[in-house]
Amino acid sequence: MRSFIYIITDRNRNNLHVGLCQDLLKTLEFYSEMPTLFFDSSKHLNRLVYFEEITNEDAAMDRFKYVSTFTRPQKEKMIRSANPDWIDLTKGLQLEQQYYSRPAMRPAVNQYRKSVIA
């Protein structure tokens, strides 16, 4: 099962929150629905600036524990190595999911399928 280590921040980059989840888009949706869960409204965590995808759950948990111990400068260095402009990566993930999501039944197959009942 895929796991994600992520760092999310507020618009002013004051807070860097490290998290671990199975479905990154659902987690980001949760943050947007619950803006004052961790902090007050001025420190709304809404900007995904870093994430890693790890296929092994034990390795993901070990990596999460390791990244959680980082100081702020270490986290900033890690973010800047992958995302130097600190842009929000959420839009790219949503676009990628739309591009790679498959419909339940392909329309071409459904058109030419014959009915069993005559």
**pLDDT higher than 60, residue 104:** no
* Cβ-contact 43, 8 below 8 angstroms: no
State the average pLDDT over residues 43-60: 90
Mean pLDDT of the chain: 83
**pLDDT higher than 90, residue 80:** yes
**Would you state the pLDDT for residue 101?**
64
**Would you state the pLDDT for residue 81?**
95
Of 15, 16, 57, 104, whose CA–CA distance to 6 is shortest?
16
**Would you state the pLDDT for residue 10?**
87
Domain ranges of the chain: 3-112
Of 1, 3, 6, 7, whose CA–CA distance to 72 is shortest?
7
Superfamily of domain 3-112: GIY-YIG endonuclease (3.40.1440.10)
Q: How far apart are CA 19 and CA 5, in angstroms?
A: 6
Q: What are phi and psi of 14, to 5 degrees?
A: -75, -35
**Would you state the pLDDT for residue 32?**
81
| Angle at alpha carbon of residue 96, lines to 54 and 25, rounded to 5° | 60
State the average pLDDT over residues 65-69: 96
The 8-class DSSP code of residue 12 comes to T
Q: Which residue would you say has higher pLDDT here, 111 or 53?
A: 53
**pLDDT higher than 70, residue 91:** yes
**Would you state the pLDDT for residue 58?**
94
What distances in angstroms separate CA 104 from CA 78, 97, 101, 110, one per listed residue? 38, 15, 9, 11
